[in-house]
Structure 1
């Protein structure tokens, strides 16, 4: 087991981020279906958007104006989540933003998380989506999506305030894709072509392009599931429909789905935020290949 660590930037002051982290009404928008908070004694969340969410499994250990620590029992093992907030001067020093750092203990490292079943193996991509939704919420934007762990239907629609061809290019051009996704990708954009996260040299088992309709859609076969997206014009914006299919529905691939939904958050921000820059400052997991790590 190892310790997961992620750091990201939020264009809101620490006080606003702290409220988003501790107000149960806010938590029900970006984090969980249900939340119960009574500081300094109770911090719990549960429901269909939480792994093993039939009941709460958190125990508050510490909270102050800039930090939050709680135990979260997953797979019968106590993991400890630490969240720290630090003020950061904005561009030009004229505004304040927050650097949020999260760590979680007892998480499978790489490549064990690919083969060890259980909720702890979901944490790497769970926090990718959850924290991306926190960023949008704290910045006054509606979160894009949450993962329903009670359903095997993995389908999401999102409206992006951008031209359809611009969205298509950002999804298919490796340089643009790598910029907003934060991960190197190389691709052969034709049926049967390779789609390699980390690049061709680093990825011995790339996914394969099943179908591609220029300007409209693409499907990629990852081996145990197929990832498809389709674009449509919608009153000056682009409607993106995103689907995972072809998997064993008794073992829905929530790990990949969480990461994909987190990617949709990043994609929408890339097209809609003026003076865009990546929200992620650092994404670290012991043993993860350098091509899949992020460091600002």
Structure 2
């Protein structure tokens, strides 16, 4: 099954700035892709290791004006349609609305069923990076679809104890990741999103060193979060290991990276998630905390 992906986010800059970042090839190479080519109204393409099936450009421009960008993107054997609409909210605030057709439903995303299963989290991370780019913040590392390894690092302007607490406290996780969380903060305890009723959203805490490290066993792979502090800042290193090198969990990696973008924002700006809507086809209603239409990406 497939359907329409719908994402909406807020960025604190005027529409013209957002449109420029969407249609300038140099900007696209910062927040979206390794390679980009833009020649409006004829061409709009991006490709490379940070793009699923990115060995060659696969986009075809359909329409572009001051508020709308629409292009076809052939991926996983299907021609999908991506539309990005910009709406001014205030003189210095813009709503970014993205839709994409032929996006697999939640069960296929969880099962990593083909290259289109990564599209929801690919765009979640990309839009989070677009917002940070526009607001003058360093983008979060992109998901590298060319490697079977995932080991990334960011610096968060907050002490390690504060960052560590925000990874285990359900109320804080709700505020930065937009998900409900059940947690037993001990080795052998559970760390479970969406109430913990689904195996795919639950992990076991297998290693816990307060303020320094958490290891989560998801069954197919292990996530490791390491924190190192200096001068009131935290170097946050996150790795995934133990999975099948022939089938890396790219959808999960991109989703976690988009969460790291919100974790940094939570500690550094206190402005809350950028997300207003995340509608992934078939996603269970209790995964996200906030009502539909006002829910951040999980």
Aligned length: 289
Moved more, 283-292 or 9-18: 283-292
Counterpart for residue 12 of structure 1: 13
User: Normalising to structure 2: TM-score of the pair?
Assistant: 0.94
How far apart, in 2, do the equivalents of 1:129 and 1:286 lie? 18
Moved more, 104-113 or 123-132: 104-113
Aligned ranges 1:258-273 → 2 under 5 Å: 258-273=254-269
Q: CA deviation at 1:195?
A: 1.3
Question: Does the residue aligned with 2:105 lie in a helix, a strand or coil?
Answer: coil
Q: CA deviation at 1:88?
A: 0.7
* Contact 2:37-2:44 at 8 Å conserved across structures: yes
Deviation digits for residues 216-246 of structure 1 (CA, Å, limit 9, x no counterpart): 1101111101011010013331100101111
Counterpart for residue 55 of structure 2: 54
Q: CA deviation at 1:286?
A: 2.5
Q: Does 1:189 align with 2:190?
A: no
How far apart, in 2, do the equivalents of 1:137 and 1:161 lie? 17
Aligned ranges 1:25-104 → 2 under 5 Å: 25-89=26-90, 96-104=92-100
Question: Does the residue aligned with 2:215 lie in a helix, a strand or coil?
Answer: strand
Question: Does the residue aligned with 1:278 lie in a helix, a strand or coil?
Answer: coil
Could you tell me which runs of 5 or more consecutive residues in structure 1 were left unpaired when the two chains were aligned. Answer: 90-94
Deviation digits for residues 144-193 of structure 1 (CA, Å, limit 9, x no counterpart): 21111111120011000111111111111111011100011111111111
Counterpart for residue 140 of structure 2: 144
How far apart, in 2, do the equivalents of 1:136 and 1:112 lie? 29
Q: CA deviation at 1:215?
A: 1.1
Q: CA deviation at 1:277?
A: 2.3
Aligned mate of 1:112, from 103, 108, 114? 108
How far apart, in 2, do the equivalents of 1:258 and 1:173 lie? 23
Could you tell me which runs of 5 or more consecutive residues in structure 2 were left unpaired when the two chains were aligned. Answer: none
Moved more, 105-114 or 50-59: 105-114
Q: CA deviation at 1:204?
A: 5.2
* Contact 2:190-2:204 at 8 Å conserved across structures: yes
Counterpart for residue 157 of structure 1: 153
User: Normalising to structure 1: TM-score of the pair?
Assistant: 0.94
* Contact 2:76-2:116 at 8 Å conserved across structures: yes
How far apart, in 1, do the equivalents of 2:13 and 2:246 lie? 41
Q: CA deviation at 1:31?
A: 0.5
Deviation digits for residues 107-156 of structure 1 (CA, Å, limit 9, x no counterpart): 11122333362111101111111110001011111102111111112001
CA RMSD for the aligned pairs? 1.3
Kindly tell me: are residues 172 and 116 of structure 1, through their superposed partners in 2, closer, same or farther at Cα, counting changes over 3 Å?
A: closer
Question: Does the residue aligned with 2:246 lie in a helix, a strand or coil?
Answer: helix
Counterpart for residue 292 of structure 1: 287
* Contact 2:109-2:117 at 8 Å conserved across structures: yes
Kindly tell me: are residues 106 and 240 of structure 1, through their superposed partners in 2, closer, same or farther at Cα, counting changes over 3 Å?
A: same
